[in-house]
Structure 1
Amino acid sequence: MAVKKVQISMSKFVKLSAICLVTLPLQLLSAPLSSSSINTSKTQISFTEFEEIAQAGDTNDYLRLVNTFSNYPLFPYAKANYLSATLDIDKKAVINEFINEFDGAPFIPSLKLKWVHYLANNNYRDAFFDVYQFGADRVLDCRYLDWRLELSSLEQLSDQIADVWVTNKSLPKECDGLFSAWYNSDLLKPEDALQRVKIAALSRNFKLAQYLKRYLPTDHQYLVDLWVKASKRPKTIYRDGFFPFHNKNELDILKVFSGKLAFANPEVFYQWWEGKKSIHSFEDKTKVYIDKKSAIALAVNKSPMALELLNALPSDVVDESVKQWKLARALATNNWQVVLDTLDSLPELYQVDPSVVFWRAKAELEVGDKDYAHRLLSELAERRDYYGFMAASSLDIKLNIRHEPITADLVMQAKIKSNDTFKRALALYHSNSLLQARKEWNYLVSKVSEEELLVASQMAAEHGWVDRPIFALSKVDYLNDVELRFPLAFNKIIQQQAKRTGLPASLIFAIIRRESSFIEDAFSSAGAAGLMQIKPATASLVARKRVSKHDLFEPETNLKYASSYLENLLDKTDQHLVLAAASYNAGYHRVKKWLPEEAVNADAWIESIPYKETRNYVKAVLAYKQVYQNLLQEESNLTADITTLQVKPEI
């Protein structure tokens, strides 16, 4: 009987008759899953029912059935539930052995937390010390330190007490006695109190921040007001006399908010900061830190003086961000010699960066050594990424999309197939308990060798689990198995949507690959859901009806509305793939604000995109689309088109 896949809560993830049946032969995990059950002495019992017995702590029935189900892949989940439900000091050895055996597995944290709470609440100190890891729970941390005080002094434990105390929230009452003794011993350091003020203010817990004044020396208490005022409204920093510059800790406030102020209005911040530097003496480290923030903000804002300010920064503070904006502003000059000079000024570390190599080659082709440029592009063209494809297109040579599949012998395959963690991960995946399956997979990754992980990835893909290999191959830097890294999952639905909207199927695949890596229940902190990571509000506008997050976890629904939205963006941008991709990530109205004052080549414009996430996103989508064009045998050479495409001031 076919069983419909459903989304389930973590606490119920094993309660699915589709997977939770002891009749499933371990050697046939790849076979369709049956909903049949097994015969016990008088009745049929499924693993679902056994798991319920375990959760209820029904010792008689659990012990009667445990041998029947002990070889089932998900048995450890049932055992963890049973141990959680029947905690007893007499089971200390059994529980600790189980925790140690599966340390790191997804079903251990809940059991372990319940176990240490049980031990603490029942005053089993030695047993508690055996298993508790400091930092896991604030209440238990205080219990731990209270008991440690019987063996140590407050002074010896002061740093650990401070670790518990420094939080942006109010502390549990269970900690009152410990902290009272700590305060009375004058062991609370002003720097710890200021750190707590800082994180309280930044998290907008202003009441707590003001309360903490009492723990600061009198001449430090004004700093609380500065943190609170700046956190409420950063612009107040511009007011004359906001910083009296009585205490070096004021500089921490200045450094924290310098970035926000600089990016909010780069020109205003630059003028204010130059004025402050002219009348106050700042240590070099602080001055350079804020100079860097100001210069980058001006570069993002396309200020003519940004490149000069970036070039003035000491080489030891040049990082990825400084490198990027020096490159972007140099390209904006339309002067290839300036580009070469700017790239020459970068530290040696960045001379091998693919973006630096690519643009050096482009500049050398225009004003330098053409043979050297061709050598640089030839080497870069070996890469299977955006810059590698752009280099190959510049030379008009074949792109490097060679497929070299993972090879594994039968012994290694058998080893992975018999791995209990792998079996649990697959069982959970086949039950559509995808989040828990991914947790088991991550546990597997922490335990196996790189060679074993590659084979496990190949076997997971054979089961249709295509997202794990993408991450696994990236982790071990095995980039040659193109088919595992760029799966053709959901191909039928994608081809249908491509035909309906007129979008290239390769573009839909590329967006999915970048947005979710084919995780159909992916959900971002921004509220985007599903394969193409479209927000419910956006999908609802496209559908002209309410579309929920859970609706978007269905591949057909997600692809339908997200493809229509992408089609709309292409229409708005005059079929400009670069602008549409940027709009899909950052929003169409933002992209309109980023348009240049004069027409520029698309490859140079991409380097000037203000958001790092969107810059990388566009490059990835272009590269992924090129790969999928090859896999789907679409004819055009995308990166060759990009080298001649322009971005204009209006769309």
Structure 2
Amino acid sequence: MYRAKFATKWMVGLLFSAGALSFAVTPAVIAQTDAAVIQGNVGDQDATFLALRDASRANKTDKVEVLASVLSNYDIPSYVDYYRLKPRIKDLVAPEPEIREYLARYDGTAIADRLRNDWLLELGKAGIWNTFDQQYPLFALDDDTQLKCYALTSKALKGVNVADDARALLTTPKDFGAGCTDLIGTLAQNGQFSQADVWFQVRQAIESGYGGVARRMAPFMDATDAQIAQAIDRSSLVLARGPGADRVSHELFIIALGRVAKNDPSQAAAALTASADQLKASERSLGWAQIALPAALKLDPQAVDYWRAAQGAPLSQDGYQWSVRSALRAGDWKLVRTSIEAMPQPLRDDPTWVYWLGRSLMADGRNEQAQKLFQSIADQTNFYGQLSLEELGQKIVITESPALITPLELAPMQKNAGFQRAFRFFDMGLRFEGTREWNWELRKMTDRQLLAAAEFARQSDVLDRMVNTSDRTKVEVDFNQRFPSPHRDIMTANTTALGLDMAWVYGVIRQESRFVKTARSHVGASGLMQLMPATARFVARKVGVIGFTADQVNDVDINIMLGTNYLSMVLNDLDGSLPMATAAYNAGPGRPRTWRSTLPGSVEGAIFAETIPFNETRGYVKNVLSNATYYAALFERRPQSLKARLGSVAPKGFTISALP
């Protein structure tokens, strides 16, 4: 990409005199506009487009108009028009006919659906419900939690009882925004939510680290913002004061228990025990639940006792799941079962909890019921689908590839306008926009069409889209598409020299970068194996790379050499445990050692993986080892065991004789 180094006021002025713009442009506007002027060079046009995108995101309306006007012949007009209109969508500055004209002109495209999303958010915020209700069913992706909240608010204002739908929706405070706190307020004011419902939402928000969301609910309840703030920020003072005599004081005391437990669960437990006779049984259960979750996240062995004391308390999604994880670490299969059975049905249906419920039933001798649960998910090509298959006495194998994609099936993919836009964005380094365009086109495709789209991505050397597209098929599964192994010569040389399992390394790359050679994470990790700069320098020094520079990390040969060496280092440092080494690659080598040290004894690798307290690392370990099992099946052409790869994990120096 190139950015033009100059622009002349004469050329900008020419555009204005030709009637390209309909507003007065001052010298200040000209001065702030990027110096990229179109002279027939695609690189210059792309630079101007990127400047337009940045100006639109910053709501610099005048600058947007200047840049959009010099892109009148740009080859992606829908995005030029979108970025021109988007800043004026905010607070509904743009007139409705202009918005509707855009939606009609680009009907059926990903970016039109994105603009409708933007518009609906503003309509909901302004409470323009007639237009909102007319437009919301047309929002194809329907993936915005705030819009779902606004839709329920609109129904509630019309007298529809939406309390159950709201409780099912309001589970992730980080996604709430104004739309969801407004919904809670509406339901509290019209009697559909009780004070207990509102207090639950407050606890859930604080528990998740979103105290600001909790405080926005103060007008809807019988507590003040100042009281909630004190329970959050001066929780030790609230505990020292005791539960008090009224409902509000009890609720604030319970919140303070959770806040203190984040640093010291035993201190919070002592405070609750000392005040137990001042609380109702249901309040004591809530208090123990508030202590149990932070204790569980600390992998505190006492957490399982706190969860037992919390039985019957309404829990957040995290609470339900961590009550099971604590029981798994403690080997309490009865508590595993009762905790899963207490979950709301949608959460209980997750393959994770289907599998562990099956295991708890096996521990209770109810093998027939357990087998039915395993059978219900054994066809899924994920971590718990694979483990369930093994519980049924089978191993992980690669099924026969479907019929080859024909030129006739491939032709529509090559002509697909959305895919062409995706490639244009990828060429500009705009992976978010490119991925949105690509995925939009996949929504209604059959398995064969998905396989054809994946093949088109392969032929275009866009392997991440090949993998993600092929992953969507339900019946026809092409494992070669889902689990590609490019750069085999480089990989074989490095893994053979290090005695490293090549399937595991490919499993890491598939999870880290999806084979995007220039991938860069938000924290600065780079390349196929997503190496952090400091890690790359450390490994380069260890293996004797002379004159290593940071820019070399995106070179495929060097990236794989450094990445495989680092994997070998962490694997050797962690006693050859694949779950621990995989966790170390994601979270650093110190953390898995800490997590292992809190175990009561030897546990299955699957239990260690499921009870990792970092959400990202927990998912990462499960995905990498699932990937590695399929790669091994592809490479070795024989059945594989995920359980064998997981092995067991125990505290350092643990032996069976150490058990009491």
Bucket of the pairwise TM-score, normalised by the shorter protein: 0.5 to 0.7
How far did 1:583 drift? Answer: 1.9
How far did 1:625 drift? Answer: 0.6
Q: Deviations over 1:585-631 (max 9, x none)?
A: 33322222222243344344334433444333322222111101122
How far did 1:462 drift? Answer: 2.6
**TM-score, normalised relative to structure 1:** 0.62
Q: Deviations over 1:239-280 (max 9, x none)?
A: 336x767673x6776666654433432222222234444324
1:44-83 counterparts in 2 under 5 A? 45-48=40-43, 74=76, 76=78
Quick one: structure 1 residues 325 and 458, their matched pair in 2 at CA, closer, same or farther if it must change by over 3 Å?
farther
Match of 1:589 in 2: 590
For 2:222 and 2:409, how far apart are their aligned partners in 1? 64
1:555-566 counterparts in 2 under 5 A? 555-566=556-567
Match of 1:101 in 2: 105
Match of 1:609 in 2: 612
Q: Deviations over 1:536-557 (max 9, x none)?
A: 3333333348865x76555444
Return the letter of the residue paired with 2:261: A
For 1:417 and 1:514, how far apart are their aligned partners in 2? 27
For 2:105 and 2:289, how far apart are their aligned partners in 1? 50
Q: Decide whether the 8 Å contact of 2:327 with 2:336 is kept in 1.
A: no
Match of 1:540 in 2: 537
Match of 1:633 in 2: 636
Quick one: structure 1 residues 620 and 318, their matched pair in 2 at CA, closer, same or farther if it must change by over 3 Å?
same
How far did 1:396 drift? Answer: 5.7
Q: Decide whether the 8 Å contact of 1:106 with 1:436 is kept in 2.
A: no
Match of 1:332 in 2: 330
Quick one: structure 1 residues 606 and 546, their matched pair in 2 at CA, closer, same or farther if it must change by over 3 Å?
same
How far did 1:402 drift? Answer: 1.5
Aligned-pair identity (%): 20
Please give the secondary structure, in 2, of the residue aligned with 1:632.
Answer: helix
For 1:623 and 1:393, how far apart are their aligned partners in 2? 13
Match of 2:399 in 1: 402
Q: Decide whether the 8 Å contact of 1:104 with 1:443 is kept in 2.
A: no
**TM-score, normalised relative to structure 2:** 0.61
Q: Of the candidates 510, 515, 523, which is equivalent to residue 513 of structure 1?
A: 510
How far did 1:510 drift? Answer: 0.8
1:18-167 counterparts in 2 under 5 A? 45-48=40-43, 74=76, 76=78, 97-98=101-102, 100-102=104-106, 135=122
User: What are the ranges of 5 or more consecutive residues in structure 2 without an aligned counterpart?
Assistant: 5-38, 53-64, 88-92, 130-152, 155-173, 175-194, 542-546, 655-660
Match of 2:171 in 1: none
Q: Decide whether the 8 Å contact of 1:501 with 1:567 is kept in 2.
A: yes
Return the letter of the residue paired with 2:560: L
Deviates more, 1:609-618 or 1:97-106: 97-106
For 1:316 and 1:517, how far apart are their aligned partners in 2? 39
How far did 1:392 drift? Answer: 4.6
Return the letter of the residue paired with 1:434: R
For 1:377 and 1:93, how far apart are their aligned partners in 2? 55
For 2:402 and 2:393, how far apart are their aligned partners in 1? 27
Establish whether residue 268 from structure 1 lines up as the match of residue 273 from structure 2: no
Return the letter of the residue paired with 1:582: A
For 2:119 and 2:482, how far apart are their aligned partners in 1? 40
For 1:352 and 1:110, how far apart are their aligned partners in 2? 31
Structure number with higher relative contact order (C-alpha < 8 Å, ≥ 6 residues apart): 1
Deviates more, 1:495-504 or 1:408-417: 408-417
For 2:391 and 2:47, how far apart are their aligned partners in 1? 63
Q: Of the candidates 314, 319, 322, which is equivalent to residue 320 of structure 2?
A: 322
Quick one: structure 1 residues 408 and 236, their matched pair in 2 at CA, closer, same or farther if it must change by over 3 Å?
farther
For 1:613 and 1:53, how far apart are their aligned partners in 2? 36
Match of 1:127 in 2: none
Q: Decide whether the 8 Å contact of 1:534 with 1:562 is kept in 2.
A: yes
Q: Decide whether the 8 Å contact of 2:328 with 2:336 is kept in 1.
A: yes
Larger radius of gyration: 1
Q: Decide whether the 8 Å contact of 1:530 with 1:555 is kept in 2.
A: yes
Match of 1:238 in 2: 239
Match of 2:341 in 1: 347
Quick one: structure 1 residues 479 and 624, their matched pair in 2 at CA, closer, same or farther if it must change by over 3 Å?
farther
Q: Deviations over 1:179-224 (max 9, x none)?
A: xxxxxxxxxxxx9xx999x99xx8899xxx9xx9xx999x999x45
User: What are the ranges of 5 or more consecutive residues in structure 1 without an aligned counterpart?
Assistant: 1-5, 10-43, 114-130, 146-158, 161-167, 169-190
Q: Decide whether the 8 Å contact of 2:244 with 2:250 is kept in 1.
A: no
Q: Decide whether the 8 Å contact of 2:506 with 2:631 is kept in 1.
A: yes
For 2:582 and 2:480, how far apart are their aligned partners in 1? 23
For 2:47 and 2:349, how far apart are their aligned partners in 1? 58
Please give the secondary structure, in 2, of the residue aligned with 1:135.
Answer: helix
How far did 1:460 drift? Answer: 1.9
Q: Of the candidates 590, 598, 602, which is equivalent to residue 599 of structure 1?
A: 602
Return the letter of the residue paired with 1:494: M
How far did 1:506 drift? Answer: 1.1
Please give the secondary structure, in 2, of the residue aligned with 1:239.
Answer: helix
Match of 2:461 in 1: 464
For 1:50 and 1:592, how far apart are their aligned partners in 2? 52
For 1:391 and 1:428, how far apart are their aligned partners in 2? 40
